[in-house]
Structure 1
Amino acid sequence: MIDWNTINEEGLLAPTMAKDFPNLPVVKAEGFFYIGADGKKYLDFTSGIATENTGHRHPKVVEAIKKQVDELLHGPIGIINYESILTLARKLQGILPSPLDCFFFGNSGAEAIEGAVKLARHVTKRSYVVSFIGGFHGRTMGALSLTTSKSKYRKSLPVGAGMTYQLPYAQVSETPHGMDHDVYWSQHVEEDFQRLFDHQVSPDEVAAVILEPVLGEGGYVIPPKAWLEKIREICDEHGILLIFDEVQTGFGRTGDWFAANRFGVVPDIMAIAKGIASGLPLSATVASKELMEQWTIGSHSTTFGGNPVACAAACATIDVLKDEGLVENARIQGDYALTKLQALQEKHTVIGKVRGIGLMLGIEIIHPETGEPNGDGLMNILHKCLDKGLILYLSGNKGEVIRMMPPLTIDRDHLEWGISLLEEAIVEYERELRVGVIK
């Protein structure tokens, strides 16, 4: 038996893997819940960091995994072919926006990003990539060169080697008073690109522009539709490929199959992962057949990517999302939750901005007197929630944004219960502030 009280002292796991929150010993998971080693049930509003969109251990996904394990456990796609990977490709064709219909399967979101950038550079014969400040694209060296959600991720690592440029991500809350969000940010990003092209890199040297259509770790920031449309227009004008990082936004999380559908903007290349297989490691770099056919045979490969068990889980995941109406449920429950959280914002001075699209909900925690981001306050609230049996997670550059990302199976009763537990924690935190227990 494992002694959970001493496990961290043994030093078995590399400390670079941050145990920022909650480092909770868990023995089982079911539906909306983790069951801790202490026997306590915890309502999980993290979905494995937006991965188990069908909830923990959905019976149809588990059944598909067991069936596949009995038939084929590993299949290096470079040597053999198998049914689950081909079935998955067809199912993905049915939910992705046209013309995204060809797939390179990997194991993780970072791999999908690496593949996307590699494909763009190969096809365009150009070197540079433009990303946006606040974006998170992974921690492998190529993906890290595009990641700017926190500077600590890049510390002491000479990533990028001058091959990437960053522009500001649209922040609707910073729109000047009286100006239309769409008009302002459309003009803003056009000026940003023009400045970049005039002073730093010629557009004919830029292979791709990559962005999260909704910032994930950057704080669940939702840009105006016109901002994305203008970026699409600029890319088309200069022959630059547009990459959407839909690792976190995909598979119903935003209330549509993909954020690209929600915003009506189709990229040339998409990176998908997380919710694809209900917790099993799987990802894909996605593009049109026309684009993929320009990727020289053998210039990219994988041993474990597109594992038959993970593909079987992904096929079942897509079926569950369809059959149980979970994509629509994400939109309905997400809209309801956003309304409830906005009501909390009106009542509690420690809550700053509240944002949401589908079941991607962000709640900023601020110092009530200064309005500044308050990461310490957020952690205090998260620990209080954990004590009450609710698991939430953090995001934002200062760790100031609560990420609420329940599974898409969530019902109204459990959603309201989770929000009520969050409010109880906030009330307790505010009381401690008032009496001077904390500052």
Structure 2
Amino acid sequence: MKNAELNQRRQQATPRGVGVMCGFYAERAENATLWDVEGNQVIDFAAGIAVLNTGHRHPKVVAAIEQQLQAFTHTAYQIVPYESYVTLAERINQCAPIDGPCKTAFFTTGAEAVENAVKIARAHTGRPGIITFGGGFHGRTYMTMALTGKVAPYKLGFGPFPGSVFHGQYPNALHGVSTQDAMNSLERIFKADIDPKQVAAIVLEPVQGEGGFNVAPAEFMQALRTLCDEHGILLVADEVQTGFARTGKLFAMEHYDIKPDLITMAKSLAGGMPLSAVTGRADVMDAPAPGGLGGTYAGNPLAVAAAHAVMDVIDEEQLCQRAQRLGHHLVEVLQQARATCPAIAEIRAQGSMVAVEFNDPASGQPSAEFTRQVQQKALQEGLLLLSCGVHGNVIRFLYPLTIPEEQFTEALGILSRALGE
């Protein structure tokens, strides 16, 4: 009865606006396994929405937090700074795919990182305009809701939103949007909505997260870089979901020949502790005046300690290479499932950022209902899956990159059965 009782209490104590997916309550977790309050075991392919690339409670991350806990938990970096923040900034500056000298500032959430990237871009360029893309997700604060290219559930009833934000089309071959179509949509914005000389930044996810794991084509990235250079616009890569080995590289932008001016990151940066960052060209990052960036908890020392451990683990356990291998195996299983599952419309992957999109075989229309059925069947066998996509018809796979081989094989077996049924 425990889960049912807790559900009743939740409905009484918390608002419906905080949507909750699962009807069971976590009691403990280890690597890729969750146990609920009734002792049931679940293989976690959600990882707290892409936060646990290094798994639940990695021993190195736990040890780093414990050690910091014995020293101090908070000073507010802007009041009394500490070395670990500076060292982490140096580490990220060294590996971020950005041209020339870099600087990094830390914040607490992904939305905060994106919001601060907008502040930095406006301060550097002296321009107001921001262009993002349909299907993109950038957060739930007012600025990031304006940037987000999906109304339900993120924007319902919350307007009006901050101005000078415009949405282009994101390339999506399955839905008939080519790179040329996407670039044409930006030209329409320049003709109808805002002079390109008034645009501070173009913000995009190299692989859209909530939008359905849509991977930006290389030629689109190249065209964006050329366009930005032509008009003095900054290119901002939102790597909140794609960062820290998920795509088979530390950052998804490493898959492209071009480099952004700013990168936002969060989620798997600190293995479950709240930490985000903006990294960018030093001259751009230095645009805001002292005091213009920050936050009471920004760069919290416990989270910074966890992030150092996460970066060690990614390196020592070769998680970028493992992400490639696990993703390749998953894609093979999904391709085999196509024989018995005509609803599979497309399989998309970059490393272990893998998704499968479902259409109704009869109508060819996106099928959120089939997606829900796959999720439910998998959960009945103990596999937790997340959906996404503008039409809610995509399943995304966000297993910890540290998942044991035998458990990964077990999970793929459950997935195959769910698709086959």
Instruction: Report if the CA contact (8 A) 1:106-1:284 is conserved.
Output: yes
Instruction: Report if the CA contact (8 A) 2:2-2:38 is conserved.
Output: no
Determine if the alignment matches structure 1 residue 124 to structure 2 residue 117: no
- The alignment partner of 2:144 has SS state of helix
TM-score by length of 2: 0.95
Structure 1 stretch 418-427 or stretch 213-222: which is displaced more?
418-427
The Cα shift of 1:161 comes to: 4.0
Instruction: Report if the CA contact (8 A) 1:141-1:159 is conserved.
Output: no
Partner letter of residue 164 of structure 2?
M
Alignment match, 1:41: 41
Determine if the alignment matches structure 1 residue 115 to structure 2 residue 116: yes
Distance 1:396 1:190 in 2: 22
Judged with a 3 Å threshold, the aligned counterparts in structure 2 of structure 1 residues 5 and 151 are, in CA distance, closer, same or farther, namely closer
Instruction: Report if the CA contact (8 A) 2:130-2:166 is conserved.
Output: yes
- The alignment partner of 1:409 has SS state of coil
Alignment match, 2:76: 76
- The alignment partner of 1:207 has SS state of strand
Structure 1 stretch 90-99 or stretch 271-280: which is displaced more?
90-99
Judged with a 3 Å threshold, the aligned counterparts in structure 2 of structure 1 residues 377 and 207 are, in CA distance, closer, same or farther, namely same
Judged with a 3 Å threshold, the aligned counterparts in structure 2 of structure 1 residues 120 and 23 are, in CA distance, closer, same or farther, namely farther
Alignment match, 1:437: none
- The alignment partner of 2:66 has SS state of helix
Instruction: Report if the CA contact (8 A) 2:97-2:259 is conserved.
Output: yes
Residues matched between the structures, number:
418
Instruction: Report if the CA contact (8 A) 2:103-2:279 is conserved.
Output: yes
Alignment match, 2:6: 7
- The alignment partner of 2:191 has SS state of helix
Partner letter of residue 199 of structure 1?
A
Mapping of residues 147-158 of structure 1, within 5 Å: 147-158=148-159
Deviation digits for residues 136-157 of structure 1, max 9, x if unmatched? 0001000000101344321222
Judged with a 3 Å threshold, the aligned counterparts in structure 2 of structure 1 residues 192 and 398 are, in CA distance, closer, same or farther, namely closer
The Cα shift of 1:317 comes to: 0.3
Instruction: Report if the CA contact (8 A) 2:31-2:57 is conserved.
Output: yes
Determine if the alignment matches structure 1 residue 323 to structure 2 residue 316: yes
- The alignment partner of 2:333 has SS state of helix
Q: How well do the aligned residues superpose, as a CA RMSD in angstroms?
A: 1.7
Alignment match, 1:54: 54
Mapping of residues 27-426 of structure 1, within 5 Å: 27-98=27-98, 99=100, 101-174=102-175, 185=179, 187-426=180-419
Distance 1:113 1:279 in 2: 19
Instruction: Report if the CA contact (8 A) 1:378-1:400 is conserved.
Output: yes
Distance 2:43 2:362 in 1: 32
Partner letter of residue 29 of structure 1?
A
Partner letter of residue 27 of structure 1?
E
Deviation digits for residues 391-410 of structure 1, max 9, x if unmatched? 11110112111111111113
Distance 1:40 1:291 in 2: 50
- The alignment partner of 2:236 has SS state of strand
Partner letter of residue 154 of structure 2?
Y
Instruction: Report if the CA contact (8 A) 1:135-1:218 is conserved.
Output: yes
Distance 1:8 1:24 in 2: 8
Instruction: Report if the CA contact (8 A) 1:34-1:41 is conserved.
Output: yes
Instruction: Report if the CA contact (8 A) 2:214-2:348 is conserved.
Output: yes
Distance 2:277 2:415 in 1: 35
The Cα shift of 1:370 comes to: 1.3
The Cα shift of 1:254 comes to: 0.5
Judged with a 3 Å threshold, the aligned counterparts in structure 2 of structure 1 residues 160 and 367 are, in CA distance, closer, same or farther, namely same
User: Identity of paired residues, percent?
Assistant: 35
Judged with a 3 Å threshold, the aligned counterparts in structure 2 of structure 1 residues 30 and 351 are, in CA distance, closer, same or farther, namely same
Deviation digits for residues 168-191 of structure 1, max 9, x if unmatched? 100133469xxxxxxx52x33332
Partner letter of residue 51 of structure 1?
V
The Cα shift of 1:425 comes to: 1.7
Deviation digits for residues 109-167 of structure 1, max 9, x if unmatched? 00000000011111111111000000000010000001013443212222434311101
Listed as ranges, the gaps of 5+ residues in structure 2 are none
Instruction: Report if the CA contact (8 A) 1:211-1:243 is conserved.
Output: yes
TM-score by length of 1: 0.92
Instruction: Report if the CA contact (8 A) 2:76-2:297 is conserved.
Output: yes
Distance 1:119 1:355 in 2: 33
Listed as ranges, the gaps of 5+ residues in structure 1 are 177-183, 429-439
Structure 1 stretch 208-217 or stretch 259-268: which is displaced more?
259-268
Deviation digits for residues 6-49 of structure 1, max 9, x if unmatched? 22323222221111x22421110001100122212211111111
Instruction: Report if the CA contact (8 A) 2:334-2:416 is conserved.
Output: no
Deviation digits for residues 377-434 of structure 1, max 9, x if unmatched? 2112212111101111110112111111111113443322212101212233xxxxxx
Distance 1:100 1:46 in 2: 35
Structure 1 stretch 164-173 or stretch 403-412: which is displaced more?
403-412
